[in-house]
Amino acid sequence: MSSHRTPAAARLAVLAALVLAVLAVARPAAASRDHVVHKVKEGDSLALLAAEYYGDRNHAVFIMVANKLLHPRPLKKGERLRIPVSRDVTVAVGDTWDGLAQAHLGDKRRGRYLAEFNGARAEGTLPAGLVISVPFHVTHTAAADESVASIALAYFGDAASAAMLRGYNFLGRDTLARGETLVIPIHHVKVRDSAMPPVDAESRARTDKRRTMMEAASRAQPRAVAAWRRADYAEVKRELIQLDLDFLDGDRAAVIGTLLGAAYVALGDEDSAIATFRRVLERAPGTTLSPYRYSPRIQAVWQKAGAAAPAP
């Protein structure tokens, strides 16, 4: 028989080697609202609960860790178990990845990873009303000398995730000595929507406003661009002033905000132009104005708002 192993088999082998140590020494790191409570029913088992909540029986290890179960055991009808879950957080006005990481992941330096987990860039403020996923933490304690790559393989099925684990833990080496700990952000395991707590009214209102603003921007932007081309700056203002840049995606907020600010300059309202340009720079710090599209007068006000001068 061939000794060659598939990647999946290799992962299972590593996980099998580590699982007892994980159950014995891993523990959930402190976090708020990082679990739901399940009341055990007749026929429930750890594997079945993992399949029910996560869609994968192999994720039972996280339920065991959350409930301090050192070994699998039959569940008792009526007992309550903590089911660790990634949390959905609705962005508020002014939120940044660093700020959200500080609030939910314990360190603002994890902001770049929170952005990556959500498929986004870690710059500027986020659009209010956006729903992001915050991973839950498991703290892994090395039962013996362990490589970060082997830990990454066990938890993520991918040794390449070791680089993320080192950065996430501000670790400058590739191994852990016995007794050392590593925070594991479980961002790839999510509970089914129907089992999550209901969204609060304030968060739902932000999400609804974001949807409304995005739809309104889709209609207003092309009309405003057409008005700009015919030098109808008052019409540009009428189309765009209704939009709240805080609820738009960064790229769209930058386009709409710069166009509105430029219209303010053309209408002689420099104060409003500066305020609008500053909001653009907060939402999308890397925004630049094309000298071919915007006049030196508009460029000058743009710099007054805090933008860097264009390269000579």
Strand partners, 90: 131
SS3 state of residue 182: strand
Burial class for 303, CB neighbours closer than 10 Å (0-12, 13-18, 19+)? middle
Q: What does each of the 312 residues of the chain score in pLDDT, given as a tens digit?
A: 444 444 444 444 444 444 444 444 444 444 446 788 899 999 999 999 998 888 888 888 889 888 888 888 999 999 999 988 888 899 999 999 999 999 999 999 999 999 999 999 888 889 999 999 999 888 888 989 999 999 999 888 889 999 999 999 999 999 999 999 999 999 887 777 766 778 889 999 999 999 999 999 999 999 999 999 999 999 999 999 999 999 999 999 999 999 999 999 999 999 999 999 999 999 998 899 988 889 999 999 999 999 876 655
Q: For residue 34, what pLDDT is reported?
A: 73
> Following DSSP, what letter does each residue of 27-44 receive, concatenated?
EEPP-SS-EEEEE--TT-
Q: Which domains does the chain have, with CATH numbers?
A: 7-86+135-195 (no CATH), 201-304 (1.25.40)
Encoding tokens for residue 281?
């720079």
- CA neighbor of 41 nearest in space, from 88, 5, 75: 75
What is the distance in angstroms between the CA of the first residue and the CA of the last residue of the chain?
68
Which residues are CB-contacts of 208 (< 8 A; sequence separation ≥ 6)?
A: 129
Question: Which phi and psi angles does 140 have, rounded to 5°?
Answer: -95, 125
pTM for the model stands at 0.80
Q: How is residue 200 annotated by DSSP?
A: P
Give the span between the Cα atoms of 197 and 40, in whole angstroms.
18
